[in-house]
Amino acid sequence: MYQPTMPVPEALDGLKAAAKADPELKAQLLATKEAKYPLTTFCKIATEKGFPLSPMDVIDYGEQEVAAMARSINGGGENHPSLNGADDTYELFMIELEELV
């Protein structure tokens, strides 16, 4: 079974810190939203910068986080409105990146 060399949260945190320190990297990451394959392009850049990610790492991480949140909501939370979009780790990262000063 494939094991990422760095846990996804650590890779994303490191990448965010690197983007905060390097406006060019931040712009490059934000530009992935316009790519034909945004998540694949994002992961390629992240890996090149020393934060190894694959699209499946990011997707799986988002799904696992939402599943954990759903289990924590009393009565189950599969359809809870607060979980809408919470599994899109890439999009959530882009929102955080846009807000970086």
The pLDDT of residue 1: 40
Q: What is the pLDDT of residues 46-98, one digit of tens each?
A: 999 999 999 999 988 876 766 666 565 555 555 544 444 456 789 989 999 99
Residues whose CB is less than 8 angstroms from the CB of residue 49 and which lie 6 or more positions away in sequence, other chains included: 15, 18, 25
Q: Looking at residues 34-47, what average pLDDT do you find? A: 97
Q: What is the pLDDT of residues 8-29, one digit of tens each?
A: 999 999 999 999 999 999 999 9
Structure-token pair, residue 85: 């979009």
Structure-token pair, residue 92: 């959530």
CB atoms within 10 A of CB 42: 24
Residues whose CB is less than 8 angstroms from the CB of residue 35 and which lie 6 or more positions away in sequence, other chains included: 41, 42
Asked if residues 61 and 89 have their Cβ atoms less than 8 Å apart, the reply is yes
Q: Is the pTM of this model over 0.85?
A: no
